[in-house]
Structures are given as C-alpha cells and as structure tokens.
Amino acid sequence: MPKWLRAVLGVAGVLLVAGGAAYYWFVVESTMPSDVEYVFDIGEVRRAVAAVPGDKPQRIEVEHIASFSFPATAIVAGDGWSSREMPVFSYRLVYPDSAIIIDTALDKALGGDNLVSFSEEAYARMNAAMSQAALVMVTHEHMDHIGGLTVHPELPAILPNTRLTVEQLAHPERSEPARFADGILDGYQPLSYDRVTVIAPGVALIKAPGHSPGSQMVYVQLQDYSEFLFIGDVAWQYRNIQAQRQRARLVTQFLLKEDRNAVFGQLAALHALAAAEPEIAIVPGHDGEIVGQLVEEGKLTEGFTLAAD
C-alpha cells in the first residue's frame, strides 16, 4: 500500500471512530449516573394535602390540543429514528363549583411548522376554561405548556388567578418563542415555595428543577382518594421512567440545556414510586398512550366541559 493511501485511510479511520463515538455520546448514550439524588417523599406530599381542608376535585378532564412528531431517540436515547407522536395536553381539575387548569399548551402560531396537528376546537375550549378557572398553573415554563397563557386574549383578567413560580418567570428565554407582553407582569407576585406546597384542596406542587429551572410536578388527590402525579416534562413519555433512560444528549444539552443529572434523579425517584405505589397514575408530559389508557379506564375524561353562562 502506498504511503499516501495508508495516511488517507488512517485519517478516515480516525474520523470514523471519532464520528461513531460522538454519535453514540450524543444520540444513544443514557446510562443512569451513580451519584443521582432526588427525594420524592409521597408521605410528605400526602400529609401536606391532608392538612388542607375542603372539597377536593371530583374528576379530571383532558384536552389534546396539538401534536409534535419527534424521532424516537430524541424522546428515549437509543430508541432509533422512527417518528413518535408528542401530543400536547391541558388538564382541568373539576371541583363542585370551580376548576383548576394545569398547563395551557400553545397556539398554532407558536407551534408553527413543528406541529403535525392542532385542534382549533380543543384550543377554544381550553381558552374558555382558562377564563372561568379559579386557578391556572403550568408544570414548567416551556412554550408548549405556558404558551396558551402568554397569548390568551383575556390575560390581564386571568393573571391574578395564575400561580406562576419565581423560577418559571426568572428565565424568560426558556419560554421562547412564547413570551409575556412587555409590562404585563409588572407587580405580579410569583409563587415561592420549598419542596412541596398545597395550592388548593387535593392539589400539591412539588419542586422538580432539571428539565427547566421552573419545572414542578403536580400531585392531585380526588374526592374519592384516587391519586395522580402530573410530572410535566421530567419524562416526555412513560418509557423514560420504565427504561430509566433520558432524552438523547443532543436534545438535553443543546436544545433544552437541561440539568441531565437532576432529571436522572427524578426518573429514578419516579421509578421507585411506581413500584411502591402502583395505584398512583403518573402522567408524563407528552404520552398519548398513557393518557388514552387513563381515559379508557375512566380516570380522565376527554374534553373540557364548561359552565353555561
């Protein structure tokens, strides 16, 4: 073999190995680190909820507002390049004479070309429900959860009923392209709490920074004592918890700027919770299968019902 050919092949080989290593690192690798720590104490959450008297929610409704489509490996590292649906949901906790909205999806303009479906009807029902709601909150400050709030036509009237946290408002760049209009948050008092707080009978917020600084989980205990944990995007889909695997590093590092270790800790805690308390319905941010199953079991009701006015 001529010397030059040997050199060319050598360089090509090095590039191939380096490329392969980079591909593995950024697209496939998702080993649970050994030093994760996240404390999820379900006893603490239940005690906090039990200490707040009042009627708890009677049922939970869900609206499927829109869908994205992601390659599987973006959702669960190593799962390949086939397309997976990423539905965007809004939830309504229904009390005897009021309601709470969890997550406000996004409008069609915010989603743009990234959306593969959008329901004008569902979005209109969510908007109307937000206007009527006693409380509106979001699991985190990303545009597909806070976006519907930022562009709501009656935002000034709704804002006093929102419970946005200090962390969710501290990093407005995390919400882009969603953003609150200039000055509209002047004088707004964001919610500040440590670890766990109860914001209404049967509803607790649990701090879970990592996916974003303002990420939190929402624990809901209904009047019949059935329990739900809306985990936002700690996991996009239940498979993240089951397989204990994260999104691809390409997504967590460059797109989301996640605290990857923190999210791993939360995945481990949720895995342990699911084993210890299988009756709690853990609801990931974008899992159509889990939501469909809960609807089928009668634990979630499809579509927001609105008070006649």
Contact residues for Zn ion (CB under 5 A)?
Answer: 144, 233, 285
Helix (H) or strand (E) holding 167: helix 166-170
Backbone angles phi, psi at 118, to 5 degrees: -155, 130
Please state whether beta strands 135-137 and 99-102 pair in parallel, antiparallel, or not at all (unpaired): parallel
Tokens 């060319």 appear where? 8
Side-chain-side CA neighbours of residue 240 (13 Å): 31
Least distance from Zn ion to the Cβ atom of residue 5, Å: 51
Least distance from Zn ion to the Cβ atom of residue 99, Å: 22
Least distance from Zn ion to the Cβ atom of residue 142, Å: 5
Burial-class residue 285 by CB neighbours within 10 Å (0-12, 13-18, 19+).
buried
How far is residue 28's CA from residue 297's CA, in Å, rounded to a whole number?
34
Handedness of CA 196, 197, 199, 203 (dihedral sign): positive
Please, what's the b/e burial string for 170-193 (b: 16 or more CB within 10 A of its CB; e: otherwise)? Answer: eeeebbeebbbeeeeeeeeeebeb
CB of 265 or CB of 285, closer to Zn ion: 285
Least distance from Zn ion to the Cβ atom of residue 285, Å: 5
Least distance from Zn ion to the Cβ atom of residue 57, Å: 23
**CA Rg value for the chain:** 21
Please state whether beta strands 281-283 and 227-230 pair in parallel, antiparallel, or not at all (unpaired): parallel
Least distance from Zn ion to the Cβ atom of residue 90, Å: 12
